[in-house]
Amino acid sequence: MGVMKRIATGHMLGTIPKRRFVDINVHVLFDSSEVVSSLDRVTRRVLVFAAMDVRRAAKRSMKARPVGQHAPKGMPPYKHKHSRRGKRSGRDYGLERSIMYAYDPINESAVIGPSNLFGQGVHAIAERHEFGGTAARPNPRRKLRRLGRTGEIRVGGPAGMATKHARDTLRGAVNVTYAPLTTQAQVRRANRLNAALYGPAILHGTYPTRPFMRPSLELIAPRMADYVGKATR
């Protein structure tokens, strides 16, 4: 009878693509069911001990920095506190808090990583940090102007009741005049001006790798023999 044990790290507890696994495989062959049963109990303890330490190492690798600061390429990502001093928010240190571990008795494995229980947004951010890649997101400053609504009719005009000073546009700090859009020509013009000021409707970004799960597993992996000794006491 063959017995295989595995500790793996991933980004969604329980549903992780195979290519996302970082595996440590140990093959042990026994014929005695009593020995296998005893080994199963020891293996579970070994994997749980290892999973706890991988989780701890991953959390400790994230340094706290102000929102907007990003870790250098190749280093673990920073953790951010979004709420004000003295306040608490569910978004505070979200990536760090999402790291969990679980033992899977069916597959006899331990899985460690950011859980989708904290939302698909955290899961997506974790994957981009660990593996890098590109992502598309809506431009929050772009607005689709419609007939009968208010929109841009002029850029650079004098200050007035209908004119606002817009900062950080693609044209710098400019005055933008708004008015009700009563014709399709005005709608098209407003959408062109909005695009000229704030860029495309969809933003594409490239994310460098900032791994935190694989380095943590590689840090803990040499300690497996110690966990075996601890589990058999």
Domain membership of residue 144 (yes or no) is no
> Does residue 116 share a domain with residue 16?
yes
Residue that is written with structure tokens 């999973």 in the block: 51
Residue 138 is assigned to a structural domain of this protein: no
Structural domain contains residue 145: no
What total of structural domains would you count in the chain? 2
Asked if residue 102 and residue 180 are part of one domain, the reply reads no
173 phi and psi angles, rounded to 5 deg? -85, 115
Contacts within 8 Å (CB) and 24+ apart, 187-190: 187/145, 187/146, 187/147, 187/151, 189/152, 189/153, 190/145, 190/151, 190/152, 190/153
> Do 109 and 162 belong together in one domain?
no
Tokens representing 3? 């017995």
pLDDT given at position 27: 45
Q: Do 201 and 215 lie in a common domain? A: no
Q: Is residue 35 part of a domain?
A: yes
Residue 213: per-residue pLDDT:
94
Q: What is the pLDDT along the chain (233 residues), one digit of tens a residue?
A: 333 334 444 443 433 444 444 444 444 444 555 544 555 788 888 889 999 999 999 999 999 998 889 999 999 999 988 777 666 666 688 899 999 999 888 888 899 999 888 888 888 889 999 999 888 889 999 999 999 999 999 998 888 889 999 988 999 999 999 999 999 999 999 999 999 999 999 999 888 999 999 999 999 999 888 888 888 77
Cα separation of 225 and 232, whole Å? Answer: 11
Pair (18, 111) in one structural domain:
yes
Give the pLDDT score at 99.
Answer: 93
CA distance 227 to 108: 16
Report if residue 82 sits inside a domain: yes
Are 12 and 124 within one domain?
yes
Q: What is the pLDDT of residue 198?
A: 96
Same domain assignment for residues 98 and 71: yes
Residue among 36, 42, 16, 8 nearest 229 (CA): 42
Strands 172-180 and 163-169: antiparallel
Q: Are residues 27 and 56 in the same domain?
A: yes
Residue 143 lies in a domain: no
Say if 96 falls within a structural domain: yes
Nearest to 202 by CA among 139, 142, 134: 139
Q: What is the CA radius of gyration of the chain?
A: 26
Domain assignment present for residue 164? The answer is: yes
Q: What is the pLDDT of residue 166?
A: 92
Confidence at residue 12, expressed as pLDDT on a 0 to 100 scale? 38
Query: Based on the domain organization, do 102 and 18 belong to the same domain?
Result: yes
Helix, strand, coil shares of the chain, percent, nearest 5, are 35, 25, 35
For residue 192, the enclosing domain spans 150-205
Confidence (pLDDT) at 58: 95
Q: Mark whether 190 and 217 lie in a shared domain.
A: no
Q: Residue 13: what pLDDT?
A: 43
